[in-house]
Amino acid sequence: MSKRILICTTQVPFVRGGAEYLAEGLRDALRARGHQVELVAIPFQWHPVERIADHALAWRLLDLTISNGQPIDLVIGTKFPSYLVRHPHKVLWLVHQHRQAYDWYGTPLSDFANTPEHRQVRKALMQMDWRGLDECQARYTISRNVSERLRRFNGLSSTPLYPPSRYAGQLRAGPYGDYILSSSRLDRAKRLDLLLEAMALTQQPVRLLVAGAGPEREALDHHAQNLGLGKRVQFLGFVPDAELIELYAGARAVYYAPIDEDYGFATIEACEAARPVITTEDAGGVLEFVEHGLNGLICPTAPAAIALALDALSADAALAARLGSHGPARVASITWDHVVQALIP
């Protein structure tokens, strides 16, 4: 039976990443199965910290029960603060909460200071989260890692539900070329600095292609220059989909080692393209798919250890092919059919 469904998501103007691809992919999957679906997005600004509650309140004040005189059957909340919307039939598919107030709190990745004002904002945010999340008729997350955070910080249970890559069915295995591929947004949490420092320690003439844009682009470019990497590293910026698919197909391996990642589409894409994944022991959701020595190499979080992995795969195309061949089976069960059956029973 066709339903009228709204997918609630947060918009950060001029930024596109995994959360945007997830929401659009879900919309398209639901429409393909006969449902009437729209995205509802409200811009979110987390600076200054004192304004976060205002942006959360904007979702709380929305009335999404009726549109154009007809009832809305279901709303699906995704990332903070979209899941605070009120609706009698609300389902959660959690991308992540406001990590600066949770697992990043007290680290350089958080913009919360240890002041009475910021502590009060954090307390209020966590209270709002608990209320909005507890209202959901069903709670799903995009990984076991996100589910564990929800349990640890909010005491709420949830079910992991992995989202497919936007390239599902298009990625393919090509020859194992002479370059390592990194495909991600260029920000501090993705830890491209570790990769550049590892590149400076390799014994093999490893090449690196970095696909993606973000606020750390200039700093990473300077870092590569200071390390003397020269033409061994190319920053490609935004890469069109067809070109990125070709880059996956021809890579020797894919590097993806963010700090405690929520999920990591680059991991899924690498596996689908039969590329081994180089990652670290603290990469979070990435480790739900990468098994050391089976479909990738999991390293200690140190440039020297990553350099050894880069050298091993660069020197041995047969090793890369053996590890890469196990990737597709690891992600074969991640389909939109499975997602839709869970969210829309």
Q: Is 172 a residue whose pLDDT tops 90?
A: yes
Where residue 91 falls among pLDDT bands split at 50, 70, 90? very high
| Structural domains for the chain | 4-161 (3.40.50.2000), 179-331 (3.40.50.2000)
With b meaning 16 or more CB within 10 Å and e meaning fewer, what string describes 254-276?
bbbbbbbbbbbbbbbbbbbbbbb
The token pair that represents 93 in the structure block: 């598919």
Distances (CA, A) of 34 to 1, 2, 167: 8, 6, 22
- Amino acid 285: pLDDT: 97
Lowest mean per-residue pLDDT among 59-68, 136-145, 247-256, 308-317: 59-68
Q: Which has the closest alpha carbon to 122: 46, 42, 11, 10?
A: 46
Helix axes 317-325, 303-315, angle to 10 degrees: 100
What residues contact residue 258 under an 8 Å CB cut-off, 6+ apart? 184, 189, 190, 191, 264, 283, 284, 286
Of the chain, the percentage scoring pLDDT greater than 90 comes to: 93
CA 178 to chain centre: 26
Quick one: average pLDDT of 45-58?
A: 88
CA 24 to chain centre: 14
pLDDT in tens, 94-148: 999 999 999 999 999 999 999 999 999 999 999 999 999 999 999 999 999 999 9
Q: Which has the closest alpha carbon to 260: 301, 307, 319?
A: 301
The structure tokens 């909010």 sit at 154
- Amino acid 36: pLDDT: 97
- Amino acid 141: pLDDT: 98
Q: What is the mean pLDDT of the chain?
A: 95
Determine the Cα–Cα distance for residues 288 and 136; give it in Å rounded to an integer: 26
Quick one: average pLDDT of 305-316?
A: 98
Q: Is 14 a residue whose pLDDT tops 80?
A: no
Quick one: average pLDDT of 248-255?
A: 98
- Amino acid 80: pLDDT: 95
What residues contact residue 32 under an 8 Å CB cut-off, 6+ apart? 336
Distances (CA, A) of 90 to 2, 3, 83, 241, 291: 17, 13, 8, 33, 35
Where residue 292 falls among pLDDT bands split at 50, 70, 90? very high
- Amino acid 45: pLDDT: 81
Distances (CA, A) of 40 to 14, 127, 132, 192, 326: 17, 24, 17, 33, 38
Q: Is 225 a residue whose pLDDT tops 80?
A: yes
